[in-house]
Amino acid sequence: MNALEIRDLMVRYGDVLAVDRVSFAASEGEFVSLLGPSGCGKTTTLRCIAGLESASSGEIRIGATTVARDGHETPPEQRGVNMVFQSYAVWPHMTVFENVAYGLRTRGDSKAEIARRVAETLQLVGLSGFAERYGTELSGGQQQRVAVARAVITEPHLLLFDEPLSNLDAGLRERMRFELLALQRRLGRTSIYVTHDQQEAMAMSDRIILMDHGRIVQQGAPRDLYERPANLFAASFIGNANLLTGQVTAAHGEGRFTVRLGDDLELSALAARPGWTPDSQALVCIRPENISLDSAGFAATTTRVSYLGAMQSCEFAAGPLTLRADLPARTRITAGEHVRLHIDPASVVLVPET
């Protein structure tokens, strides 16, 4: 049985279709991200799962229980779901202890039990010793941990996160990604995590659900989305791909094609979906890390070199083509230099426009 199942979820605000036939499931213990640009319907989907927003149509099941269908909605507090918000919503006039204990108090746990569980949970999120601090006396990162502690202490079936790291500075944000994921793994709680940050989604998720304009564009493991983007939007939203228009010159079966780029650059390419025939135009996706210098390769002129420490982001002109490549930082290369380039054939994919 899936921990969460959503079928044909639609949410309409007047003329705006915020969520458009969204269907997906999460298995027990899975970490699933909803990823997409601002306004694509991530928060609305999450709020429907929590019961904070009503579905216009569709069905939501949490474990064996249907919590939304045909206008029948289970109230949020009966869904066994807790949410961590971007703003943390830590109560400033309460201590950390009182913030974290809140869920246990409202359900009437004993004082001794509450004390034990709060101490245990604060330890889990690395806040032992902060129990008596007030909300106003905490840094952003500490407030974030209080919010997580408050969400996990009642052991909900589902943990929902809405951009919980976006208010933190870059360094802390990266550390908290791994902390949060490690905590989720220890607790084994199914988690739905909303973010517009593709790197965050890639680093944390078992599975990414990529959304655009209220719809799911693609879902799969981070590697699937990166290496086999379903369409132009997926290819351009995740990573920093070269997307070039080419001409299919031969079909070899099993999704293998030859494409021509520019005047005379012939490449072997893979297509995840059928639909191309010789002579058709195709969008060709080449990731910058799959282009390298190679004396047996094709001729190009270096037009830009940006040294970024871990690597160099370079741009080349090859006839009418512009190609971006990530080269090792140790490579000596300067703008204006004539070079020869190689494109890893296993990494070239044909991508549908829509």
Ligand X SMILES: Nc1ncnc2c1ncn2[C@@H]1O[C@H](COP(=O)(O)OP(=O)(O)OP(=O)(O)O)[C@@H](O)[C@H]1O
Residues binding ligand X (CB under 6 A) = 13, 16, 18, 36, 38-44, 196
* CB nearer Mg ion, residue 13 or residue 307: 13
Distance CA 282, CA 241 (A): 15
* CB nearer ligand X, residue 145 or residue 196: 196
Amino acid identity, position 119 = A
Amino acid identity, position 9 = L
Q: How far is the CB of 297 from ligand X (least distance, A)?
A: 41
Amino acid identity, position 117 = R
Distance CA 231, CA 352 (A): 5
CA 296 to mean position of chain CA atoms: 38
Binding partner of residue 18 among Mg ion, ligand X, none, CB cut-off 5 to 8 Å per kind: ligand X
* CB nearer ligand X, residue 117 or residue 196: 196
* CB nearer ligand X, residue 53 or residue 326: 53
Closest CA to 166 of 152, 180, 151: 180
Are 44 and 213 within 8 A, CB to CB?
A: no
When computed from its CA atoms, the radius of gyration of the chain, rounded to whole angstroms, is: 24
Binding partner of residue 307 among ligand X, Mg ion, none, CB cut-off 5 to 8 Å per kind: none
Q: What are the φ/ψ torsions at residue 127 (nearest 5 degrees)?
A: -120, 20
Does residue 195 interact with Mg ion by CB under 5 A?
A: no
Angle between helices 111-124 and 96-106 (to 10 degrees): 130
Closest CA to 202 of 213, 210, 212: 210
Does residue 45 interact with Mg ion by CB under 5 A?
A: no
Does residue 43 interact with Mg ion by CB under 5 A?
A: yes
Q: How far is the CB of 217 from Mg ion (least distance, A)?
A: 17
Binding partner of residue 40 among ligand X, Mg ion, none, CB cut-off 5 to 8 Å per kind: ligand X
Q: Of the listed pieces 39-47, 218-226, 321-329, 336-344, which binds Mg ion according to CB under 5 A?
A: 39-47
Q: How far is the CB of 279 from ligand X (least distance, A)?
A: 39
Q: Of the listed pieces 36-44, 179-187, 278-286, 301-309, which binds Mg ion according to CB under 5 A?
A: 36-44
Q: How far is the CB of 58 from ligand X (least distance, A)?
A: 15
Q: How far is the CB of 288 from ligand X (least distance, A)?
A: 26
* CB nearer ligand X, residue 35 or residue 261: 35
Q: How far is the CB of 4 from ligand X (least distance, A)?
A: 17
